[in-house]
């Protein structure tokens, strides 16, 4: 079954809005695990506008599920990941100050840069995933880099799903097939929701993991966190 990794960035945004520690980010992560999440995802940014570097360090010893740290591999990020040693690191091409991830890596153009980073994490024994579009060349070069997985950037799927689900999912099926042929795993994330998640998984049942944050937190406002996690797990 595809694993659900809950991205807790938005809980940190809510905490930071008022200062203090409400909601308690560490307890929220533990509750997500207790409610059935298979992993916890964080995306620390240099401005620490949601997840702080200290949060990442404090989360590692208390989590019992997979810990995924995603971000742009600048020096401070690489140092943090190597210090914490999570289950997985997901490399995204977000530059500092970017609002959210909105594109995958050009793994061919950035091959030399990414090769050094991936090799560094491989030597440290950290599973490495690279955020990519459905362009199969990008998938193939991610495999050449020695990445363990790709993470498919699914916003285009989520946008097109409402008008034509089958057409929306086809490029993702093709990219996932290429990844499987290359011998690497497939993750997926960005704008996945209770509306579109089940269809994606039915089309690509070999997806290893989905990382979901924004939609899950929005749903939890109405359904409660426990019921929301249960419903996302049910989609999987």
Please give the positions annotated as active site.
43, 70, 190
- Asked if 200 and 163 count as a contact pair (C-beta separation under 8 A), the reply is no
DSSP the chain: --EEEEE-HHHHHHHHHHSTTSS-HHHHHHHHHHTT-SEEEE---TT-SSS-HHHHHHHGGG--SEEEEEE---HHHHHHHHHH--SEEEE--PPTT-SS--S---TTTTHHHHHHHHHHHHHHT-EEEEEE-S-HHHHHHHHHTT-SEEEEE-HHHHHHHTT-HHHHHHHHHHHHHHHHHHT-EEEEESS--TTTHHHHHHH-TT--EEEE-HHHHHHHHHH-HHHHHHHHHHH-
Calpha distance 216→231 (Å, rounded): 10
């Amino acid at each position: 079954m595809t694993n659900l990794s809950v991205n807790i960035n938005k809980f940190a945004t809510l905490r930071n809005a008022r200062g203090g520690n409400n909601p308690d980010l560490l307890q929220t992560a533990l509750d997500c695990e207790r409610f059935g999440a298979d992993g916890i995802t964080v995306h620390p940014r240099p401005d620490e506008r949601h997840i702080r570097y200290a949060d990442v360090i404090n989360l590692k010893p208390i989590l019992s599920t997979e810990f995924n740290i995603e971000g742009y591999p600048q020096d401070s990020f690489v140092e943090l990941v190597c210090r914490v040693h999570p289950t997985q690191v997901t490399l995204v091409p977000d530059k500092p100050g970017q609002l959210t991830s909105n594109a995958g890596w050009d793994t061919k153009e950035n091959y030399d840069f990414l090769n050094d980073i991936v090799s560094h994490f491989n030597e440290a024994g950290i599973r490495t995933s690279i955020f990519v579009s459905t362009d199969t060349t990008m998938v193939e070069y991610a495999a050449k880099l020695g990445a363990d997985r790709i993470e498919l950037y699914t916003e285009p799927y989520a946008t097109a799903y409402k008008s034509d689900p089958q057409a929306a999912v086809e490029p993702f099926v093709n990219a996932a097939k290429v990844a499987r042929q290359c011998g690497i795993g497939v993750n997926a994330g960005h704008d996945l929701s209770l509306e579109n998640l089940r269809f994606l998984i039915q089309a690509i049942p070999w997806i290893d993991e989905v990382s979901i944050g924004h939609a899950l937190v929005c749903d939890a406002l109405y359904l409660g966190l426990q019921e929301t996690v249960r419903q996302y797990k049910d989609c999987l």
